[in-house]
Amino acid sequence: MRFRGWLGGVLGTILVLLVIGVFLMPDRTQMQQFDNLPWQVETPEVDRTRVLGIELGRTTLRDLTDRLPVPDIRLFVEPDGTRAVEAFYSNARIPPFEVNLVLRPALDEADMDFLWEERTSDRPMPSGARRYGLSDDALRMLGDRPVVEMSYIPRARWDSDLVRARFGEPASHLRIGDDQSYWLYPDQGVAIRIPAGGGRVLMHFVTLERWEQVVERLERAGQLLLDGTQGQN
């Protein structure tokens, strides 16, 4: 009986110590610090922007092979003849968030002419643009080109209050439709699309040297949306 009492006392002491240890143990989820968050933007040079562990103007699509899933890379041609290449990454994991990414590499006219000759499948888009697949030779060439623009679409829901808390007040706003607008942060090369109806936020990052060009593109796209809406009234 004495042995049982002694054993029970020891076990009870161990249990108490374990409980105390659990409560005193640091919360690792609270201690964990994440880097490369979307609002941590650095612009050391006009042709370089660091965000999300990607250095726009330096990082190539091939550099991201080990970090991100295989992208869907397409050539888009707008009705006015404007050409662009986009690499779409679905369900990419950039801790602590899961996101969709769209990256645009730096391409000159000679590059675009080469890609045009290397186009494969052809598909019309609702906007009137056309989407083309690309050959293996074209994809190998694109792997060596630095990324200069990035669209970041978080799976988590963001609202205007959260954007303001993370990025601060925008320098200006750009309306691109009856139900959405861009918040502009020119000093960081960031444009954030805020849907009025609670849709998904889109964060667009760009090198500072391309900022004016991107804003002009957004303005044109916004005017087309507004003209279309007005034409339906």
Report the predicted TM-score, pTM, of the whole model to 2 decimal places. Answer: 0.80
In 46-79, which positions are buried (b, 16+ CB within 10 angstroms) versus exposed (e)? ebbbbbbebbbbbbbbebbeeebeebebbbebee
The pLDDT tens digits for 47-78 are: 999 999 999 999 999 999 999 999 999 999 99
Retrieve residue 65's tokens: 């092979």
Task: For residue 224, name the pLDDT band (cuts at 50, 70, 90).
Answer: low
pLDDT for the residue 8: 52
pLDDT for the residue 40: 95
Task: For residue 222, name the pLDDT band (cuts at 50, 70, 90).
Answer: low
The pLDDT tens digits for 164-204 are: 999 999 999 998 877 789 999 999 999 999 987 767 899 99
| 207 pLDDT above the threshold of 60 | yes
Contact assessment for residue 104 and residue 121, using Cβ atoms and an 8 Å cutoff: no
Higher pLDDT, 195 or 215: 215
146 forms beta bridges with: 60
Q: What is the DSSP string of 53-114?
A: TEEETT-BTGGGTTTSPPPEEEEEE-TTS-EEEEEEEEEEEETTEEEEEEEEE---HHHHHH
Pick the closest to residue 59 from 82, 39, 83, 36 (CA basis): 36
How far is it, in rounded angstroms, from Cα 228 to Cα 232? 6
Overall average pLDDT of the 146-173 stretch: 93
Peptide bond between residue 26 and the one before it cis (omega within 30 degrees of 0): no
Q: Residue 146 has what DSSP assignment?
A: B
pLDDT for the residue 116: 97
How far are the Cα atoms of 31, 32, 108 from residue 24, in angstroms, in the given order?
14, 17, 59
Higher pLDDT, 227 or 127: 127
Residue recorded with tokens 């000759």:
117
End-to-end CA distance of the chain: 91
Contact assessment for residue 39 and residue 163, using Cβ atoms and an 8 Å cutoff: no
